[in-house]
Amino acid sequence: MKTEETHLLLVDGMALLFRSFYATAPSGQWMINSRGVPTNAVHGLMRHLSAALSVIEPTHVICCWDMGSTTFRTEWFPDYKANRGEPPLELVPQFDLAKEAVAALGIPNIGVLGAEADDCIGTIAKQYRESARISILTGDRDLFQLLADNVTVYLLAKGIGNYDAYTLARFYEEKGIWPHQLVDVKALMGDPSDNYPGVRGIGEKTAFKLIQQYGSIEGLVENLHLLTKAQQQKIREHLDMLYLSRKLAAIHCDIPLDLRLDEAKWERDPAFLEKAKRVLV
């Protein structure tokens, strides 16, 4: 008798919740429940989650969350994500409500104070990628760092149930680098959405080209004399920020987590959405 393959779906809960909120926010239809709490984002999250479970067909599911705006990255660089405003008032009470709805489905919620959802996803993926097939559902391309032979990243696409799936082979074919080199690219080009600058004056195209050619930040610095005078000057002037940006960009896969995989076993119940909706009334 063939043993069922373990297929673990790691869900970026923050990505699904924010996308669901802003998809409905322009209409101002917040879907207020009996307690006066808006529920539009949570309803959207449930729809996204239901579609993903149908399309990806995992045997196990875990949903990961950020746990506040202060993390070890803000300790390293106080301006990290400082360009982001406070979440809309209508979204704030939906954070806890979303976790309640996910838990009602029997799906574990994982979050660690001081870390980001990405770090939790990375830690779990690293722990189980040798023994299970891993699928990651997110809207964040930073999670491409986690791609491996047994790890696929499903990027949310337009609409619900549509994904842009990346495998290790597709990533290398398109980008010309391996996933672990992505942090070196981001260290050079920076990330405006996370508010770290990298090396000012070096954009995405140049960053990819340099890492394709020299392999890493260390390889680039060792061969600095081979670069153009302008590139040499930019890197020398921003060398400290270059290394700090790489620390900020890296997904840290050593977060202490208390999790047993059997807690994440997923058995589809035809009425599972109804169970979650009871939390929202």
Band of the pLDDT at 2, cuts 50, 70, 90? very low
Q: Which residue has the higher pLDDT, 32 or 136?
A: 136
* % of residues, the chain, pLDDT over 90: 78
pLDDT tens per residue across span 69-104 = 889 999 999 999 988 888 888 999 999 999 999 998
Domain extent listing, the chain: 7-174+251-275, 178-249
Whether 255 contacts 111, CB under 8 Å: no
- As a whole number, mean pLDDT of residues 1-9 equals 74
CATH number among 3.40.605.10, 3.40.190.10, 1.10.150.20, 1.10.760.10, domain 178-249: 1.10.150.20
pLDDT at 146 over 50: yes
pLDDT at 241 over 70: yes
- As a whole number, mean pLDDT of residues 20-29 equals 78
Instruction: Report the pLDDT value the prediction gives residue 279, as an integer from 0 to 100.
Output: 72
- The answer to whether domain 7-174+251-275 has CATH 3.40.50.1010 is yes
Residue 281 CA to residue 268 CA, distance in Å, equals 22
Listing from the earlier edge strand, what are the strands of the sheet with 109-110?
109-110, 60-64, 7-12, 133-138, 151-156, 163-166
Of the listed ranges 5-9, 32-36, 68-72, 209-213, the least confidently predicted one is 32-36
Got the DSSP string for the chain? Answer: -PPPPPEEEEEEHHHHHHHHHHHHGGGT---B-TTS-B-HHHHHHHHHHHHHHHHH--SEEEEE----S-BHHHHH-TTTTTTS-PPPTTTTTHHHHHHHHHHHTTPPEE--TBS-HHHHHHHHHHHHTTTSEEEEEES-GGGGGG-BTTEEEEEE-SSSS-EEEE-HHHHHHHHSS-GGGHHHHHHHH-BTTTTB--STT--HHHHHHHHHHHSSHHHHHHTGGGS-HHHHHHHHHTHHHHHHHHHHHSPP--------GGGGB----TTHHHHHHHHH-
Instruction: Report the pLDDT value the prediction gives residue 29, as an integer from 0 to 100.
Output: 67
pLDDT at 224 over 70: yes
Band of the pLDDT at 32, cuts 50, 70, 90? confident
Instruction: Report the pLDDT value the prediction gives residue 193, as an integer from 0 to 100.
Output: 92
